[in-house]
Amino acid sequence: MAGRFAPRNAPRTALPHPASVPAPASASEPASAPAPAPDSASAPGTGALTREWTPTGPLDLRLVIGPLRRGPADPTFRMTRDGTVWRASRTPAGPGTLRLAARGGRIEAAAWGPGAPWLLDRLPTLLGATDDPDAFRPRHRLLALTRHSRPGLRLVRTGLVMESLIPSILEQKVTTDEAYRAWRLLVRGHGAPAPGPADHAPFAALGLHVMPDARTWSLIPSWEWHRAGVDAKRSATILRAVRVARRLEEASAMELPEATARLELIPGIGPWTSAETLQRSNGAADAVTVGDLHLPGIVGHALAGNRDADDEEMLRLLAPYEGQRHRATRLVLLSGRTPPRRAPRRTRGDIARL
């Protein structure tokens, strides 16, 4: 589940609200605002477009952007030791690479490739400018304390459906390790190197890739899916989805019920997959994940001391948070109040050996 991400390789620092500096107009600009022009301070020869944005409140960059990472070796996502985030995306304008860094009370962004203007134009939305954390009213002491300790939590919103839908399909009914491996092999094998500063050795060492476009996904041969450990059911679901990729991308501008219905028209995409996708693409605060193997027990244990809770019980416990149920589950997961393990970790399968 997206909300399980909790960065461990760096201190969790939130950007303080700059009391003495008024927020620029970009903090609330609509997604259709004109693309930013290249910054005159950009490093020569990099071809980068740059932008700075000042959030209107605390913002924990890694906590906000982290749900987009599909495992520590995700070829589309990198976090460096200095807190910089690199992310490669396939936007409607083409491939693009986005670099984000927190500096004092602002976010510094740079982008490369045909999709650079699109990425920078939507930077505030990506980092939760349209999210409303004040709409959440904690009814449990645990959630109140976690919210107080995580003031920089915002719900990410990419505006890109397919880049969250495909890895979510890969995560169906398998361990996260299996799904992360499949995503890594397929993107590296069939995607394209991400655009960036070609003369910048540290960037080259990141090995960033942009995921394949819809046509390339549809042309991946069956043995490549098998080699990546993806069974026929999941690969067939992805193939059905990429055939109507443009219609599915339209869900990023829809309200949650309509967006959910649009995705679930595709056989093989159910409530679990649609919720996991829309949490990221739409910043859907109420897209609660049902059908998860572990989440009901975690929520039940944290809120009612019942580690054997099922989906029905989880939804009952989350009922007071109607409209904010995804945010509630993220806070539960970030609280660290999880039940102790009762059995060994599930063994990773490998159908590629069959």
- pLDDT tens digit string along 49-87? 999 999 999 999 999 999 999 999 999 999 999 999 999
For residues 143-166, give the mean pLDDT.
98
* Adjacency order of strands within the sheet including 94-103: 49-53, 106-112, 94-103, 85-91, 77-79
For the chain, what is the mean pLDDT?
Answer: 88
Between 340 and 154, the more confident residue is 154
CB 165 within 8 A of CB 190: no
Q: Which two tokens stand for residue 88?
A: 């490669």
Query: How far apart are the C-alpha atoms of 198 and 180, rounded to whole Å?
Result: 27
Confidence of residue 349 (pLDDT cuts 50, 70, 90): low
Asked if the model's pLDDT at residue 33 lies above 60, the reply is no
Asked if the model's pLDDT at residue 88 lies above 50, the reply is yes
Q: Which two tokens stand for residue 130?
A: 């349209």
Query: How far apart are the C-alpha atoms of 119 and 96, rounded to whole Å?
Result: 7
Asked if the model's pLDDT at residue 135 lies above 60, the reply is yes
Residue recorded with tokens 């003495």: 20
Burial of 81 (0-12, 13-18, 19+ CB in 10 A): exposed
Confidence of residue 343 (pLDDT cuts 50, 70, 90): low
CB 128 within 8 A of CB 283: yes
Assign 96 to helix, strand or coil.
strand
Asked if the model's pLDDT at residue 210 lies above 90, the reply is yes
CB 326 within 8 A of CB 285: yes
pLDDT at 202: 87
Whole-number percent of the chain with pLDDT over 70: 84
For residues 273-286, give the mean pLDDT.
98
Sign of the Cα pseudo-torsion (244, 250, 254, 256, in order): positive
CB 263 within 8 A of CB 165: yes
Q: Which two tokens stand for residue 242?
A: 């990429």
Distances (CA, A) of 160 to 185, 212, 281: 21, 14, 5
Between 212 and 45, the more confident residue is 212
pTM of the full structure: 0.86
Distances (CA, A) of 209 to 9, 90, 116, 296: 22, 10, 15, 34
